[in-house]
């Protein structure tokens, strides 16, 4: 009995191609489906990229103005507390 090696287990590929050794031949319906798929993927990616850009802009604004925003909130709270206190 011979030991089994990866090359002896599968002497030839287990698939067949539609080209049969020649160049690929695409059909118009295949190209149309590919085009539709590519438009769908690019539209989904552009929406996510746009959302990501907006999130980055808002985050940058909030982080860049954090101390200023905190100071304004403290001034408003202090003014409110002084106006309410007798």
Terminal alpha carbon distance of the chain: 101
**pLDDT at res. 81:** 92
Q: What local confidence, expressed as pLDDT, does residue 24 receive?
A: 63
pLDDT in tens, the chain (86 residues): 555 555 555 555 555 555 566 666 667 777 778 888 888 877 777 777 788 888 888 788 777 788 888 898 899 999 999 998 86
Alpha helices by DSSP H, listed for 1-86, are: 6-9, 28-64, 66-84
């Amino acid at each position: 009995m011979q030991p089994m090696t990866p090359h002896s287990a599968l002497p030839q590929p287990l698939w067949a191609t539609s080209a049969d050794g020649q160049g690929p031949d695409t059909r118009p319906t295949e190209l149309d489906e590919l085009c539709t798929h590519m438009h769908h993927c690019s539209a989904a990616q552009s929406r996510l990229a746009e959302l990501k850009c907006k999130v980055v802009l808002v985050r940058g604004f909030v982080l860049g103005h954090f101390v200023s925003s905190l100071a304004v909130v403290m001034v408003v709270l202090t003014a409110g507390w002084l106006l309410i206190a007798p």
